[in-house]
Amino acid sequence: MHGARIPDVALVTGATSGIGLAVARRLATRGVRVFICARTADTVATTVKSLQGEGHDIDGLDADVRSRASVERLVRGAVERYGPITVLVNNAGRSGGGPIAGITDELWDDVIDTNLHGTFRVTREALTTGRLGEAGAQGRIINIASTGGKQGVALGTPYSASKGGVIGFTKALAKELAETGVTVNAVCPGYVETPMAVRIRRSYAAVWDTTEENVHDGFRQKIPLGRYSTPDEVAGLVDYLATDTAASITAQAMNVCGGLGIY
């Protein structure tokens, strides 16, 4: 335990696999009551049952961060179940890209709507309906961005643009909320071994007319540590940022990337 106060209610979006699932488990292991979401009700129910089976106090609802009504329902559900939100982890997101000349409006709009607009919608609702930071409580908002939002990803312009937007949103909101004691930070993973990473390698293999193994090898060679990060390594930083010890850290965008990013 890093601090005396345990943030006792966390809302984690996109939490049924990969980084989101690791974050939910890590927070719950520390005694935080966690409310999760994903777009598919059955997946949420299965994940909740599994984590409850591990002894965690966890619940959730299906929700689509692209829909204001869905987000409102999600946050109301979290508050009704556990009370005011103390920690918000905006993790829901999607990949998307390809040669820019062939990117459709629909793909561009959906990546931006999911990754950037979704982060805005959930944050706004957490600060209002979710009562995050009320009564002087030190709240935590942690946005999962990407090293791609800092330095760009070839064939990933929608993704890089959306995550760059998340970083800018994070820094601006951190300054807005600083006097309230609510901190706002971004965690920027590099290559992390998740189901999304598998889909990304498959997409690059198709564009480059090569194998997924060759793509994987090429990506690993760019990482100074020579390996992908794990979801739990990303979750470890998220967990730390949700503690009292991290109370003076705000408006930052911190990498978990094996040395891939250097700023």
Active-site residue list:
159
98 within 8 A of 111, measured Cβ to Cβ: no
Q: Would the CA dihedral through 191, 196, 202, 204 be positive or negative?
A: negative
Provide φ and ψ at 187, rounded to 5°. -105, 130
By DSSP bridging, strand 87-90 and strand 33-38 are unpaired
- In the structure encoding, which two tokens stand for residue 13, read together? 């979006």
Encoded amino acid at 231, one letter: P
Dist. CA 152–CA 254, nearest whole Å: 16
Q: 59 has which bridge partners?
A: 35
